[in-house]
Structure 1
Amino acid sequence: MPDGKKRDLAALASIPLIMTLANSMLIPVLPLMQKKLQISSVQSSLIITLYAVVSIPCIPIAGYLSDRFGRKRIILIGLLLACIGGVVSGLAAWLMGVHAYGMILIGRIIQGIGAAGAFPIVLPLVGDMFKNEEEVSKGLGMIETSNTFGKVLSPILGSALALVVWYLPLAIIPIISLISVILILIFVKAPKSSKSNSLTLKKLFQIIKPIIAREGRWLYAVFTIGGMAMFVMFGFLYFLSTHLEERYHLNGIWKGMLLSIPLIAICLASYLTGKWVSDNKSTMRWCTVAGTTILSAAMIVCGFAPLAGKIFLLSLLFIGGIGIGITLPSLDALITEGIEKEQRGTLSSLYSSARFIGVASGPLVASLLLKHQSSMFYMYGGVGLACALLALWAIKPDQKDKARKGTA
């Protein structure tokens, strides 16, 4: 990989890192925010959920706009909106105290709109930057690793910042967003497309309709599995944050470090899987099946042992994290390498929307099931098993490749 491309990729990797910090950094602080703002656990989960919910309809729009007007331009607009939303939430928490909850949510909504135009556009841009499929897979592995590294860093950094003042994790988001804006402006040179400006919405639907008709089965499967993986991950992270504080009275950096344990597993597994799958779509399929099966097994054992000690629980969540880390980069590679460049932004954005549905619903569902730990983990186990069976049934790389060649 040329040095110039490495710099581009490093700058792009800052986006999932920073967007992940903007959301996951708040997870360990939610119980503290709940006390400071005098709100319920369900209300505190909305600080995470609303950010993701508003992104869901905006992501496909951003994908279409990136196909038409250029990926770099849309990414920069998204990052600036995320910065503005962070200013709104941070100032509200600082100036309004216990009455800040409503304005914090408004700021989070603005951030969610911005996030829709940032990280989801990175995936198709990486696909545009490289012609060699093996380099695309490695690039996507680096992006997914940056995403999961942000999740590893988030609980530690969020807990540390909250020790200074409880709203500092909110207030720092505009600063880190601006860092990413500067990196993108300086280093990223997005490939130009002569077709992008002539791609109207009507033409896009005319192009996408036969793709969905021909390859809808595996596309829908990838969308579903990606969303369910994020649903389980954000659900058990919300549960773990609350569980460590309420049962073991752990706070601050120590709690953040424990929260990062399953995320370290996701990060390492994502990095290694991204390198290993290369451009082999059959390997991507079997990694998806293996990853979701591992996740399912770990969650079911958690359900059998609801009163187990924290070391046993963290060990199982670490194993579950390995399963998620194997799954996500495989899905990223399938969706990016399986779609032609001209439609990649829109279809990758639909995939990102599906993932954000999981991000949005995970903490909310977990907050409702906090007193039913066994049932929650059995549900996660069933979700993982269903995803493994879906991958086996729907993702058929050989058939998919033959279908594409037949229409070429």
Structure 2
Amino acid sequence: MIDKQTSDIQNKKLITFSLAIVPLAMVLGNSMLIPELPNLAEVLGVSNFEIGLLITFFSLSGGLSIPILGYLSDKYNRKRILIYSLLIYGTGGIIAGLLALLNNPQIYSYILFARIIQGFGAGGTYPLAIALAGDIFNPQNRKQILGILEAANAFGKVVSPFLGALIALFFWPGLFFIYAILTLPLAIIIYYFIPEPQPSTIKINFKDYLIQITTIITDKGSSFILYLATSIVVLFILFGVLSFVSETLSTVYNIYGLTKAGLIAIPIIAMVITAYLMGLYLKRNNPQLNYLLSSGLLLDAISLLTLPFLDGLILYLVLIACVGIANGIVLTVLNTIITSSSSESYRGGLTSIYSSMRFLGIALGPPVFTLLNQISTFTMFAIPALIAMILSLFAFFI
């Protein structure tokens, strides 16, 4: 452990603060853009489906990069791979921002490419920050640090809609430049102030690493596949609903700016509070996790099936808050299951798979919801609700 090198309290605080900014920066990658997607579509002269691809391509790239960057961090140097990831993330933001300054509708496809670059870097941020915290701090301090990182992640989810709306009020290309403003100085701070972990002794090549991951999934069986499917579906639902709500608040209720950001934050705040309370409940009790998982998915399904029949902003906001509560239950249970159902030697592989699936769910949400909405609003909500209900039944009978 490198904890001996961090005995100085001020140094520990600096390390903790630096690592905590990493998940905050990652969350901004998508959540900050959600309130502004309709405005960006108008400015760039593209459809709602096309503007949703700014979320999709970023998340797909991030999901694909997680196992690659995770492997490289194990084989070479976790700190350096984290720094490179932050630099890539920030560079993608600079490219997208400079392209946005051209204010040319034809530039959309190039901004999309810049988002792919960003996503690749984002995949190596939060997962590697968690792993680096595990390298640096001893077991006694590690739980506290990981709790701080998770709190930073939650804080980012809450403030990102407001930050996105505030930046767009003054300078919409700043939505992309902000990533570099955060990540590039952070990379420098980590380089100078985060201690180097012990050199890795891993000798496995990438092909064998992929085979090992496949073996993990096979060994864990159908229950683990259910957990992965559930992680995809709940993030798919959350970001699909958020993108639809963003459009609806603008086109139906004529709500914009910070007010709109505050309303979009409702399901996210509900999810964060629920996750925190669920964490306390699980710490003090020993419930059947599959029943909780099933209940959360069922609440998701009921909320989605009710949404198309509502005609009033207050009831609408209550129901999307229920979606946030449902996802808070499900994700907390999934986090517990994934991190506690494997030995330490397999935990890194399992968490990287799990993180990739979450990115995939985020990627699918906005474009699929947009396509389904072209059929009908009921179809857009009913199909995800049906999938959630099926998963709920499977979870109940595991």
TM-score when scaled to structure 1? 0.85
Residue of structure 2 in register with 1:91 after alignment = 98
CA contact (8 A) 1:155 1:260 kept: yes
Amino acid at match of 2:275: S
Q: Name the residue aligned to 1:364.
A: 367
Whole-Å separation in 1 of the counterparts to 2:78 and 2:63: 18
**Aligned positions of 1:295-334 closer than 5 A:** 295-303=300-308, 305=309, 307-334=310-337
Residue equivalent to 1:398:
none
How far off is 1:340 after superposition? 3.5
Are the structure 2 counterparts of residues 61 and 88 from structure 1 closer, same or farther at C-alpha, using a change threshold of 3 Å?
same
Report the CA distance shift for 1:391/1:140 in structure 2 as closer, same or farther (over 3 A): farther
Residue among 71, 74, 81 paired with 2:81: 74
Residues 318, 126 of structure 1: alpha-carbon distance in 2 compared, 3 angstrom cutoff: farther
Deviates more, 1:281-290 or 1:318-327: 281-290
Q: C-alpha separation between the residues in 2 aligned to 1:281 and 1:13? A: 29
Q: CA deviation at 1:308?
A: 1.8
CA distance in 2, matches of 1:162, 1:19: 19
8 A contact 2:76–2:200 mirrored in 1: no
- What per-residue deviation string (whole Å, max 9, x for no partner) do you get for residues 20-42 of structure 1? 11221111111111111111111
Aligned to 1:112: 119
Counterparts in 2 of 1:290 and 1:144: CA distance versus 1, 3 Å: farther
Residue aligning to 1:21: 28
- Within 5 Å, which residues of 2 pair with 1:142-181? 142-181=148-187
**What CA distance in whole angstroms lies between the structure 2 residues aligned with 1:386 and 1:188?**
46
- Give the Cα–Cα distance (whole angstroms) in 1 for the partners of residues 28 and 210 of structure 2: 34
**Letter paired with 2:39:** L
Task: Note the C-alpha offset of 1:284.
Answer: 4.7
Post-superposition Cα deviations, 1:40-92, rounded to whole Å, max 9, x if no partner, equal 11111111111112223222211222222243222221111000000000000
Give me the whole-angstrom Cα distance separating, in 1, the residues matched to 2:289 and 2:141: 12
Q: 1:209 to 1:364 in 2, by over 3 A?
A: closer
- Kindly state the Cα deviation for residue 131 of structure 1 after the two structures are TM-superposed: 7.0
Name the SS of the counterpart of 2:198 in structure 1. coil
Are residues 343 and 280 of structure 1, via their aligned partners in 2, closer, same or farther at CA, if it must alter by over 3 Å? farther
Range moving further from structure 2, 186-195 or 41-50: 186-195
Cα deviation per residue 1:94-127 (whole Å; 9 max; x = unaligned)? 1343332122112101101111211233454556
Greater mean alpha carbon deviation, residues 239-248 or residues 289-298: 289-298
Partner Cα distance (1:187, 1:267) in 2:
30
Aligned in 2, Cα 1:209/1:378: closer, same or farther, shift over 3 Å? closer
Return the match for 2:382 from 345, 354, 378: 378
Name the structure 2 match of 1:353: 356
> CA contact under 8 A between 2:294 and 2:392: conserved in structure 1?
yes
Q: Are the aligned partners of 2:373 and 2:379 in contact in 1 as well (CA < 8 Å)?
A: no
**Aligned with residue 253 of structure 1, among 258, 266, 270:** 258
Partners of 2:189 and 2:289 in 1: CA distance: 31
Q: Which segments of 5 or more consecutive residues in structure 1 lack a partner in the other structure?
A: 395-408
- Number of the residue aligned with 2:205: 200
Aligned-partner SS, 1:199: coil
CA separation of 1:370 and 1:336: change in aligned 2, threshold 3 A: same
- CA distance in structure 2 between the aligned counterparts of 1:351 and 1:28, rounded to whole angstroms: 27
Return closer, same or farther for 1:231/1:40 CA change in 2, 3 Å cut-off. Answer: same
1:128 deviates by: 5.6
Alignment root-mean-square deviation, CA: 2.9
| In structure 1, distance between residues paired with 2:267 and 2:77 | 36
One-letter code aligned to 2:247: T
Deviation string 1:194-245 (CA, Å, 9 cap, x unpaired) is 533x233355456556533332333322211111111000000000000000
Aligned length: 390
Superposition deviation, residue 247 in structure 1: 0.2
What is the alpha-carbon distance in structure 2 between the residues aligned to residue 383 and residue 296 of structure 1?
8
CA distance in 2, matches of 1:285, 1:191: 37
Distance 1:252 1:85, change over 3 A: same
Deviations 1:116-147 (A, max 9, x none): 211233454556667759965x7655544433
Structure 2 alignment gaps of length 5 or more: none
Candidates 104, 107, 118, aligned match of 1:100: 107
Return the letter of the residue paired with 1:366: F
Question: Helix, strand or coil: the match of 1:370?
Answer: helix
Within a 5 Å distance, the mapping from 1:271-282 to structure 2 comes to 271-278=276-283
Residue number in structure 2 paired with 1:406: none
Q: 1:319 to 1:330 in 2, by over 3 A?
A: same
User: TM-score, normalized by length of structure 2?
Assistant: 0.87
Q: Structure 1 pair 229/9, CA: closer, same or farther in 2 (3 Å)?
A: farther
Describe the superposition over 1:167-202 as per-residue Cα deviations: whole angstroms up to 9, x where unpaired.
221121110122442454456447536533x23335
Partner in structure 1 of residue 295 of structure 2: 290
Report the alpha carbon displacement of residue 314 of structure 1 after superposing the two structures with TM.
0.7
Per the alignment, do residues 264 and 230 of structure 1 end up closer, same or farther by CA in structure 2, a change over 3 Å counting?
same
Q: 1:143 to 1:110 in 2, by over 3 A?
A: same
Q: Distance in 1 between matches of 2:168 and 2:190?
A: 29
Q: Distance in 2 between matches of 1:346 and 1:24?
A: 26
Q: Aligned pair in 2 of structure 1 residues 208, 168: CA closer, same or farther (>3 Å)?
A: closer
